[in-house]
A = this chain, B = another copy of it.
Amino acid sequence: MASTSSLALSQGLLSRAISPNGSENHASVPPFSVLKSTSPRATFLHSQRRASTSSHSLRPLVRAAAVEVTDATTDSTLVDKSVNTIRFLAIDAVEKAKSGHPGLPMGCAPMSHILYDEVMRYNPKNPYWFNRDRFVLSAGHGCMLQYALLHLAGYDSVREEDLKSFRQWGSKTPGHPENFETPGVEVTTGPLGQGIANAVGLALAEKHLAARFNKPDNEIVDHYTYSIIGDGCQMEGITNEVCSLAGHWGLGKLIAFYDDNHISIDGDTEIAFTENVDKRFEALGWHVIWVKNGNNGYDEIRAAIKEAKAVTDKPTLIKVTTTIGYGSPNKANSYSVHGAALGEKEVEATRNNLGWPYEPFQVPEDVKSHWSRHTPEGAALEADWNAKFAAYEKQYPEEAEELKSIISGDLPAGWEKALPTYTPESPGDATRNLSQQCLNALAKAVPGFLGGSADLASSNMTLLKASGDFQNATPEGRNLRFGVREHGMGAICNGIALHSPGFIPYCATFFVFTDYMRAAMRISALSEAGVIYVMTHDSIGLGEDGPTHQPIEHLSSFRAMPNIMMFRPADGNETAGAYKIAVTRRNTPSVLALSRQKLPQLPGTSIENVERGGYTVSDNSNGNKPDVILIGTGSELEIAAQAGEELRKEGKTVRVVSFVCWELFDEQTDEYKESVLPSDVSARVSIEAGTTFGWGKIVGGKGKSIGVDSFGASAPAGKLYKEFGITVEAVVAAAKSLI
């Protein structure tokens, strides 16, 4: 420890040495600091940024600080004490819950102590402060680590009683980190690899905003993104996908700690994970640092972070070799400490081993006092930034307006007027093309609108024509190029969406390949990230590519998922209507299933109608009692409409209904629902080129559903529709059998 004591520790010690009284507003704030400054000058972040990337300018500071440190041993002991506090808060909470994962917090306490106490900039009293550093615990099962840190740092979301109700009903401390439950938690993790992907999204968001909004005299966007990933994350394919992109994009302000503890649930990682991770990350374009002693090599950790910050053109992986369950005499370094409470006896043994005399959940006074400075420091950081923003706003009012919209989520007035509208006379087109008109219109009207495709931009029709590509050298571009990495794409978009409320990311692939990204889409839904999924080639209508590419069960599978809207628009108006809602509903992701094939603009559709989810497109009946109701979605609404015409020619009264979004229909009043689907009318026929699974609820016990309940086939689309019986004739026949 002693002689190599580094910059960051020195500064922490220095601040304490100078300000022994610790009065709330000023005393514990260091008078000068590279990593945490309260200088009211609007340019401090700029100078900080320069300083952190230039080791030369720092050296005199380091030496000066080191000289002034009075009692390094005591203070190193205090760090130990803080680190052990984190360990025991995790141990105690898991023990009380009799459930949870103590191993990771015990091993990662040192690196995370340094991060939260010495490195990261945040305001505990406003977890949503825009310019905060972001932290993502990708190994989300170790969430007690993060709860302990938030607790020590002074976040109101995690008080002692919250720690005591870890993993209990209604608590702020659920079994994995959930952004929607616990302010201070940025994203929802647990499913492995999602977190690091979110972190890539957060870092992308920062790089993009910095490029768009920073000025030489005012770098208003400037934060780091940190993440802790474990062996489990490393094994997941999504991690390789997003880390390849992070390297490609040169996300220099992304710093990931790899908790290299050699243990996973099934035992030693030797049994399934013997690749050379360092070399892989170098191949992916990362800077790699190895901290060999992650258990108490505080200075090694500090030096690594410093080095990582100095590398501005690459993301950095800091491999930190740790002992899982560090401190537990009988369970450390074994899988048994990964995912279960230590047990009363082993907790006692660990207390003895680490010399911990405190009560369960007790934070020693000196540790408490040490951490207390983060509240005033954080407030000062935010106040400084606010002053800086005020100056920015004065000098760059237009940019400030845009940035404010992204920060606040307040959309520019009248944005929705940008959406195109259509009449039945407008030329027919594939909804994927109509979607592109919407995307380009929205990009102009909504500052935080951006996105891209997983190497299918020219098929998904997702290019924003007025913008360039987001690339390492052109990060202001709003076209994201994800390569063939669907899973990573979705999870990166979650990170972008959760960076700031006004970010509205969209991403695209063929609808069938939602199977590759479903885990990320579910996290969108769960974590209330309003990502827009632009999913083209939405049925057997894609034709020759065949059954590997033809979605069948996918509409149904998303209708079954909570908090996600599944749209299948039939034409231009419905496509625009779907986008209107997708943009408006920031806490609910949307999936748009769009056709490859050309479709007509239908009479009776409108943007407003889409908001009802299901609505009458045409009707020749009176008194809400048609002979039959024909219900279609997307490309089959046209077929339903044509069948309706046929039946009307034969004197039937027919209602044709579009069911563009089941979730929105579910939200309507019973009265409205009855007006569309009167309970007295049991003659109902649905048609949709996908599974009939789930339609029973809409057509009722006596209705009929026309769909495709097997896999598709490779042939031209028209042939497939005929062979699979998705035809006007089939609808007419089904209707007649019911009337």
What is the CA–CA distance of A702 and B702 in the complex, to the nearest angstrom?
12
Residues of B within 8 A of A274 (CB): 247-248, 285
**Copies of this chain, count:** 2
Chain A window 175-202, contacts with chain B (Cβ cutoff 8 Å), 1 for yes, 0 for no: 1101000000000111110000000000
Residues of B within 8 A of A231 (CB): 484
Q: Determine how close the nearest CB of chain B comes to the CB of A566; give it in whole angstroms.
A: 11
Asked if residues B482 and A272 are in contact (CB atoms below 8 Å), the reply is: yes
Asked if residues B236 and A485 are in contact (CB atoms below 8 Å), the reply is: yes
Q: Determine how close the nearest CB of chain B comes to the CB of A28; give it in whole angstroms.
A: 35
Residues of B within 8 A of A660 (CB): none
Enumerate A220-252 residues with CB–CB distance to B below 8 Å.
Answer: 231-233, 235-241, 244-245, 247-248
What is the CA–CA distance of A691 and B697 in the complex, to the nearest angstrom?
13
Enumerate A480-505 residues with CB–CB distance to B below 8 Å.
Answer: 481-488
Asked if residues A174 and B485 are in contact (CB atoms below 8 Å), the reply is: no
| A436 interface residue per 8 A CB criterion | no
- Nearest chain-B residue to A176 (Cβ)? B548
| A379 interface residue per 8 A CB criterion | no
Residues of B within 8 A of A236 (CB): 237, 241, 484-486, 516
| A653 interface residue per 8 A CB criterion | no
Interface size class of A (residues with CB under 8 A): 35 or more
| A2 interface residue per 8 A CB criterion | no
What is the CA–CA distance of A279 and B281 in the complex, to the nearest angstrom?
9
Asked if residues A272 and B284 are in contact (CB atoms below 8 Å), the reply is: no
Residues of B within 8 A of A386 (CB): none
Enumerate A595-633 residues with CB–CB distance to B below 8 Å.
Answer: none
Asked if residues B455 and A266 are in contact (CB atoms below 8 Å), the reply is: yes
| A561 interface residue per 8 A CB criterion | yes
Q: Determine how close the nearest CB of chain B comes to the CB of A738; give it in whole angstroms.
A: 14
Residues of B within 8 A of A278 (CB): 283
| A168 interface residue per 8 A CB criterion | yes
Asked if residues B546 and A175 are in contact (CB atoms below 8 Å), the reply is: yes
Asked if residues B481 and A272 are in contact (CB atoms below 8 Å), the reply is: yes
What is the CA–CA distance of A717 and B21 in the complex, to the nearest angstrom?
48
Asked if residues B275 and A715 are in contact (CB atoms below 8 Å), the reply is: no
Asked if residues B544 and A714 are in contact (CB atoms below 8 Å), the reply is: no
| A413 interface residue per 8 A CB criterion | no
What is the CA–CA distance of A673 and B487 in the complex, to the nearest angstrom?
41
What is the CA–CA distance of A713 and B546 in the complex, to the nearest angstrom?
40
Please report A residues at the B interface, Cβ cutoff 8 Å: 97, 99-100, 140-141, 167-171, 174-176, 178, 188-192, 231-233, 235-241, 244-245, 247-248, 264-266, 269, 271-280, 282-285, 335, 453, 455-459, 469, 471, 481-488, 512-513, 515-516, 518-519, 522-523, 525-526, 543-549, 552-553, 556-557, 559-563, 691, 693-694, 696-697, 700-702, 709-711, 713-716, 719-720, 723
The 8 closest A-B pairs by CB, nearest first: A237-B237, A272-B483, A174-B714, A696-B697, A190-B548, A279-B283, A169-B715, A553-B560
Known pairs A99-B716, A237-B241, A244-B273; list 9 more (Cβ under 8 Å): A99-B544, A169-B723, A178-B547, A190-B545, A192-B484, A236-B486, A280-B283, A553-B560, A556-B560
